[in-house]
C-alpha cells in the first residue's frame, strides 16, 4: 500500500562527525536517516526497540543518497522523513535533510525488510503497525 506519513526531527552535527574537509562526513548521514526512521515510527506509537523485543527486526536492504550541499559542525539539521510505501515485507522511507537556514543538504531513499528474528525470513509488516499508519 502507498502511504504518505511524514515526521520531522532534528540532530546537531557532532565534532566527531566532521572530517578534515570541514564537512559532515558523507558516511554519517546513514545514522541521521536511522534517527529519522526511528523517531517517525515513535511518533506513530511504534518503538523500534519494542519491535526487536518482539522478534521482529528491520534491516536496510537498499539505500541511496544525493548530497546537495555540505553540513558543517554544530549545524542543527532537520531530518524530514516520509514513509512512502509498505508492500509485503518491505517498507520504503524517503528523507530530506535541511539546515537551520532551510537549505537542502541531502535527499535519500531506503528500503527495509521486516524479518522474523527466529526464522530469519521476511514477514509481512505487523498489523498493529499498519493500523497505526492508517489511523494517522
Going by the DSSP 8-state scheme, the letter that residue 127 receives in this structure is H
Q: Which of 6, 28, 84, 94 touches a copy of itself by CB under 8 A?
A: 28
| Helices (runs of H) and strands (runs of E) counted in the chain | 3, 8
Give, to the nearest 10 degrees, the angle between helix 127-134 and helix 29-44. 80
Alpha carbon separation from 49 to 39, 57, 74, 126 (Å, rounded) = 11, 9, 28, 14
Instruction: Please list the active-site residues.
Output: 19
Please identify, among the stretches 14-22, 79-87, 90-98, 127-135, the one whose residues bind a copy of itself according to the rule CB under 8 A: 14-22
Residue 60 contacts a copy of itself per CB under 8 A: yes
Residue 62 contacts a copy of itself per CB under 8 A: yes
Q: List residues near a copy of itself by CB under 8 A.
A: 14-16, 18-23, 25-28, 30-31, 34-35, 38, 47-49, 52, 57, 59-67, 70, 73-74
Amino acid at each position: 500500500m502507498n502511504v504518505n506519513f511524514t515526521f520531522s526531527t532534528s540532530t546537531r552535527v557532532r565534532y566527531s562527525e566532521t572530517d578534515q574537509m570541514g564537512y559532515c562526513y558523507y558516511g554519517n548521514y546513514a545514522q541521521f536517516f536511522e534517527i529519522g526512521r526511528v523517531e517517525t515510527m515513535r511518533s506513530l506509537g511504534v518503538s523500534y526497540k519494542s519491535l526487536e523485543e518482539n522478534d521482529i527486526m528491520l534491516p536496510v536492504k537498499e539505500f541511496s543518497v544525493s548530497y546537495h550541499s555540505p553540513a558543517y559542525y554544530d549545524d542543527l539539521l532537520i531530518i524530514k522523513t516520509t514513509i512512502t510505501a509498505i508492500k509485503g515485507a518491505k517498507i520504503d522511507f524517503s528523507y530530506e535533510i535541511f539546515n537551520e537556514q532551510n537549505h537542502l543538504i541531502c535527499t535519500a531513499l531506503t528500503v527495509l525488510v521486516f524479518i522474523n528474528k527466529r526464522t530469519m525470513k521476511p514477514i509481512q509488516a505487523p498489523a498493529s503497525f499498519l493500523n497505526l499508519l492508517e489511523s494517522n
